[in-house]
Amino acid sequence: MTQLARGQFGDEFTWGVAHAAYQVEGAWDADGKGPSIWDTFTHRPRTVRDRSNGDVACDFYHRYAGDTALVKRLGFGAQRFSISWPRVLPDGTGRVNRAGLDFYSRVVDACLERGVEPWVTLYHWDLPEALQRRGGWANRDIVDWFGEYVGVVADALGDRVRHWMIFNEPCSFTLVGHLAGQHAPGVRSLRKFLAAVHHVNLAQAAGARVLRDSLDDADVGTTHIVTPSRMLGTTRRHQRAARSLDALLNRAHLEPNFGLGYPIADCPLLRGIRRYQRDGDDKAVLVDWDFIGVQYYTRLLVHPLPVPLLHALPRYGRDFRRYEITATGWEVQPDGLHEALTKVHAYGKVSRIYVTENGAAFPDHLVGDRIHDDRRTAFYRDHLEQVRRAQSDGVPVHGYFCWSLLDNFEWAEGFGPRFGLVYTEFATQRRIIKDSGRWFQEFLAA
């Protein structure tokens, strides 16, 4: 096999790192910010494995300039970060918090001054708590609330930001937040889940329309986690379970925007979504994306159980004999990334695809001033090979973003799993470049 080299990916290929507001910013109630559902959720007992929360996290709110300098130092040309809706609109709608917008304006400038392109995600799960009290994603009015918020951000940053992603992984926050209840808002309701799915899909389209109407050359996309499955057996029941899981995880949020409707035939659980559809929604939900961001972590092993969601539980998904397992219990399956990219390309609906998240948590040990995270470096190398493979098969992959720049707050898992190319010593907020970060530095410099 030839040596992996930056040049093979093309001169225009975007190399970036990603992070999200709640996971890094801290400053949860600073300068007029309103609470988000993640503030409320993590402040409740027994919601986060290590009883931590994102009150301080990586203190990115105060350290963004140094962190963006790190992005540059590692050799990346793009930084994907999200905007916290309640930092900008503390009540979700209406009153704008200037100080919040100014913060993001400074982050954008810090990127541009260093020659790093800002890639903005408008929603990475931290809904204003004020809107949750009004029903959150289960209330159809949220489509308009979201449009208003997108307009405010576009007005403030659109003169300098070109690349926009409407949502981060809709499936994760509708399913895990509204059906499994393990993420904020901690709801366990099939009805609310189905309502949320439909309203999120309409909000994708509403947000995209606002960006196109208010900005001349906005590059408008969104991101989806794509989790292909691997079957444990070959019976008809296995096949049905695999189809149903695929519809739930990978298709329910992707296909309506493409004009393909809901995959109800393959996933009866979605049947009740009809209750939330109104005349005209088929059209209102359409989006002509400039790009799709594919986020990939692992494949799931399919085991036919009566409840589709149970297929996805990691304890059924481990196959210790054949695959390396990361600190979050996910199997390392690089060729699943090729499958995910091929799957999205096969729709024939987008001309550019980016890997907007890919990465792994491993137990990291500080030895002197070094972290020898060889497994993470190997993980990245193996997954980048699969990006190359997809490109040679004709999949238009135009960029790759590592998850993540820094070790950060990993949602319900707390600070346990470390995903960074840069180690965060949380007690002191010291940043230490891991060997995987050094590997990228060399790879990108070549």
> 339 vs 410, which CB is nearer to ligand FCB?
410
> 20 vs 108, which CB is nearer to ligand FCB?
20
- Per-residue contact string for residues 345-374; x = within reach of ligand FCB by CB under 6 A: ------------x-----------------
Closest CA to 387 of 378, 379, 399, 375: 399
Q: How many residues bind ligand FCB (CB under 6 A)?
A: 11
| Shortest Å, Cβ 173 to ligand FCB | 9
Amino acid 366 reads: L
| Shortest Å, Cβ 273 to ligand FCB | 23
State the burial class of residue 182 (Cβ atoms within 10 Å of its Cβ: 0-12, 13-18, 19+): middle
| Shortest Å, Cβ 67 to ligand FCB | 16
Helix, coil or strand: residue 370: strand
- Per-residue contact string for residues 406-445; x = within reach of ligand FCB by CB under 6 A: ----xx-------x--------------------------
Binding-site member from 41, 119, 330, 403 for ligand FCB (CB under 6 A) = 403
Question: Which bin fits 201, alpha (ψ -120 to 50), beta or left (φ > 0)?
Answer: alpha
Question: Which bin fits 279, alpha (ψ -120 to 50), beta or left (φ > 0)?
Answer: beta
Among the listed residues 169, 255, 339, 410, the single catalytic one is 169
- Per-residue contact string for residues 193-232; x = within reach of ligand FCB by CB under 6 A: --------------------------------x-------
Amino acid 318 reads: R
Q: Which residues of 231-269 are buried (b: 16+ CB within 10 A; e: fewer)?
A: ebeeeeebeebbbbbbbbbbbbbbbbbbeeebbeebbeb
| Shortest Å, Cβ 359 to ligand FCB | 7
Positions in 9-68 near ligand FCB (CB under 6 A):
20, 23
Output the CA angle 138-409-21, nearest 5 degrees.
60
- Residue partners of 82: CB distance under 8 A and separation at least 6: 19, 20, 21, 120, 121, 122, 123, 124, 126, 168
Question: Which bin fits 144, alpha (ψ -120 to 50), beta or left (φ > 0)?
Answer: alpha
Closest CA to 356 of 157, 167, 104: 167
> 172 vs 229, which CB is nearer to ligand FCB?
172
> 357 vs 364, which CB is nearer to ligand FCB?
357
Among the listed residues 129, 255, 331, 357, the single catalytic one is 357
| Shortest Å, Cβ 228 to ligand FCB | 15
State the burial class of residue 442 (Cβ atoms within 10 Å of its Cβ: 0-12, 13-18, 19+): exposed
Q: Which two tokens stand for residue 419?
A: 């995903």
> 291 vs 411, which CB is nearer to ligand FCB?
411
Q: Which two tokens stand for residue 442?
A: 């060399």
- Per-residue contact string for residues 156-185; x = within reach of ligand FCB by CB under 6 A: ------------xx--x-------------
Whether residue 339 lies in the annotated active site? no
Whether residue 357 lies in the annotated active site? yes
| Shortest Å, Cβ 190 to ligand FCB | 22
Does 81 contact ligand FCB by CB under 6 A? no
Q: Which residues sit at the interface with ligand FCB, rule CB under 6 A? A: 20, 23, 168-169, 172, 225, 357, 403, 410-411, 419
User: Which residues are tagged catalytic?
Assistant: 169, 357
